[in-house]
Amino acid sequence: MSVITTHREGEVLVVVSDNPPVNALGAAVRDGLVAAMKEAAGDDGVKAVVIRCDGRTFFAGADITEFGNPNPNPNAVDLNTVINTIEASAKPVVAAIHGTALGGGLEVALGCHYRVAVPSAKLGLPEVKLGLIPGAGGTQRLPRVVGVEAALPMVTSGDPIPAKLGATIGLIDEIVGEDSLEADAVAFARSVIGMESHPVSSARADKIAGTDPGAFDAFRQANARRLRGFDAPEAAIKAVEIATSHPFSEGLPMERALFEPLLAGTQSAALRHLFFAERAANKIDDIPKDTPILPIAKVGVIGAGTMGGGITMNFLSAGIPVTMVEREQAPLDRGVATIRKNYENTAAKGRIKPEQVEQAMGLLTPSLNLEDLADCDLVIEAVFELMEIKKDVFGKLDAICKPGAILATNTSYLDVNEIAASTSRPEAVLGLHFFSPANVMRMLEVVRGAKTGASALATSMKLAKTIGKVAVVAGVCHGFIGNRILAARQTQGEAMLMEGILPARVDKVLTDFGFPMGPFQMADLAGLDIGWTKETSDPTRVRDVLVERDRRGQKTGAGFYDYAADRTRTESEEVNALILEFADKAGTRRNDVTDEEILERLLYPMINEAGLILEEGIAQRASDIDVMYVHGYGWPSYTGGPMFWASTTGLGKVVAGLEKHADKWPDLKISTLLKDKAAKGEGFA
Ligand code: 3HC
Ligand code: NAI
């Protein structure tokens, strides 16, 4: 059966695409659309055309699996031909949009003379998220339809906009009934039959006439921080600039000329890798597809501190009621107040409506009583990182919670199996390791204990999607996937201090690589006193000495750096002098360290640790580690994450680097998997 079918509603030819799951514009769809337009042109009884899609969405873009494919259906028509054919139709064509009109999908819609959409529809050009720009006229038609001011954020952020906003900026001609898309689109098509002419996006000049040529540089400047390191957004800005200064016939090939090198480049390969990696991460290989998903209608959170509060917000924002339990009134009140303040700040920035603050707060029940968690479907523990307290809490939960409830711990490092063993239902216990700030960071590490049941796991993966997180499954070990790999980097960072390499230099090497912050900036943010006690404080360790001087990080206004009241960071003369003194005293100070060495010593041990993690089966697949590092630790996405980056760098080079610096990590065990792959000239992808 063809993926494109047509049927008649009187004088209107309705063209329907049915190419699950997302109506990607693969070769068969493109060929079918051109054939349908020929049918319309050749039939005098047809006076107008409606294009719509079956299933969950309008065309969600070009078929990404065709990119980078050396032989992508050489005989199929290309997308530009499809869109030009639609636009050249003498009979008006109406795009009838539901779900998401994305990338090539929105470009098809822009080629139509009119666009109608249901209220829940979203419209966007997400190509930059794949390291690309629209390649089928999107950068040339969109500004002509909505103007430069509305087009620039769409093409550079890739974020979709809701249909209503689309109507406001002129992208959508009419919002139609949520449940009557085809009928309303046909009625709209009928209403334009007989009009003298129909709007042709590529021929419009009204919205771009008089564009301020300075608007592009102003936009670049205003967004410099957000776009740093990425190639595609700059190309997208250039393409929109071209739309305002060149006729469409010249702009279209110029857009293509910007698109092609991006498609062939490593940034796009890396970002496309991440697109599929994120989707793969949600799948657990040894769990049957029909595993029952438990309904999560009510959640309990224990601990209203840094993490408990953030975790709670995820569920409140998703409309799921939460009971948050503390041991004393004061921290409970503080936790509730922080949640309210966070929502109010978001509302003040206009990102949510004031009534949504009250809606979310209305779903929160603060409590001092664990018994109040009896009817929760899921309880997440976020109390102090101490095994004895966690075991005590889980033992109590076991007695209180209803049968079938999932019992989760947010522990950063502790043994989930030991925690599970303090209950009579280890199959219900797992780790749900959120990242700080838990209401913002998209990463969720799902820690699978030895006895964790399939249902608890499958439910957690589904739930992650509900609350907008990207989930990765990890096995049990100290620090799981994320923190275990990070520890390898932190160890080297601290070793560098003993060579007299200052924090600002180390951090700069990593921020130049593309991380939002380096190891010492990160340590200051998290607090230097994590895990520190007076009794165990080590006077030969710079970090411990800083805590002893009450330099505990940003929270005390001083850590590796000094912080002003507004958190502006400056290098600390005191700390730098201390570091040099330590290095001199130990006789380990060096003056010959290059930035390259710093980078290799920080990143290669992470790759090695990841190799060990894969060997041990702690991670399901290398791409899961990429997803975790990009979403949880700020690894620059345009390098594809650590494993993709190592593979493009060459695993042989990584192993040689580990061996070259072997004296810097005396206990290092080089991963056999890494060595084998390097020897065979393979990568992790
Ligand atoms: N091509 C190929 N496969 C695609 C695809 C695409 N454009 N979009 C989604 N898929 C696949 C996914 O890989 C996934 O496959 P799987 O089930 O085997 O894992 C399946 O469709 C379902 O996708 P999601 O799990 O993401 O489903 P959601 O309902 O959560 O999201 C969506 C749907 C919002 C459409 C989301 O899939 C999405 O954002 N897709 C990508 C859209 C995009 O980037 N389009 C631009 C493409 S580039 C382009 O058009 C270039 C042009 O300018 C020439
Ligand atoms: P926190 O100290 O900010 O909050 C812990 C809260 O738990 C406190 O408010 C405390 O009063 C409460 N509490 C302690 N014992 C309790 C009990 N028996 N019953 C009820 N409440 C109790 O700590 P934070 O940072 O929120 O950490 C919590 C957990 O999350 C730890 O296991 C930590 O390792 C983990 N984690 C922390 C991250 C971070 O960046 N802070 C990141 C990821 C995980």
Query: At residue 50, what are phi and psi to the nearest 5 degrees?
Result: -120, 130
Over residues 120-169, the pLDDT tens digits come to 999 999 999 999 999 999 999 999 999 999 999 999 999 999 999 999 99
Share of the chain above pLDDT 90, in %: 95
> Taking residues 376-395, what's their average pLDDT?
97
Distance 22 CA to ligand 1 centre (A): 6
Measured from the CB, is residue 239 less than 6 Å from ligand 1? no
**Residue 60 CB less than 6 A away from ligand 1:** yes
Mean pLDDT taken over the chain: 96
Q: Which amino acids are annotated catalytic?
A: 107, 127
Query: Which band of pLDDT confidence, cut at 50, 70 and 90, is reported for residue 71?
Result: low
Q: Give the ligand at the shortest distance from the Cα of 104.
A: 1
The answer to whether 430 touches 456, Cβ cutoff 8 Å, is yes
Domains recognised in the chain with CATH numbers: 4-264 (3.90.226.10), 299-479 (3.40.50.720), 500-586 (1.10.1040.50)
Answer yes or no: pTM beyond 0.85: yes
Rounded CA-CA distance 607/649 in Å is 11
Mean pLDDT across 38-46: 98
Ligand number with the minimum distance to the CA of 312: 2
Pairwise CA distance, residues 243 & 259, whole Å: 15
Pocket lining: 65 vs ligand 1, CB cutoff 6 Å? yes
- Nearest CA, atom 44, ligand 2: 412
Ligand 1: atom nearest CA of 104 is 50
Tokens of 104: 């090539």
State the pLDDT confidence band at 668, using cuts at 50, 70 and 90. Answer: confident
Q: Residue 196 is encoded by which pair of tokens?
A: 């003298």
How many of the other CB atoms lie within 10 Å of CB of 313?
24
Q: How confident is the model at residue 490 (pLDDT cuts 50, 70, 90)?
A: very high
How far is residue 523's CA from residue 96's CA, in Å, rounded to a whole number? 51
Q: How many CB atoms lie within 10 A of CB 248?
A: 18
Nearest to 409 by CA among 436, 383, 388, 427: 383
The rounded Å distance from CA 309 to ligand 2 centre is 10
For the chain, the C-alpha Rg in angstroms (whole number) is 28
Three-state SS at 471: strand
Which ligand is closest to the CA of 531, given by its number?
2
Does ligand 1 lie within 6 Å of residue 104's CB atom? yes
State if residue 389 touches ligand 2 by the CB under 6 angstroms criterion. yes
Residue 5 pLDDT > 80, yes or no?
yes
Percent with pLDDT over 70 in the chain: 99
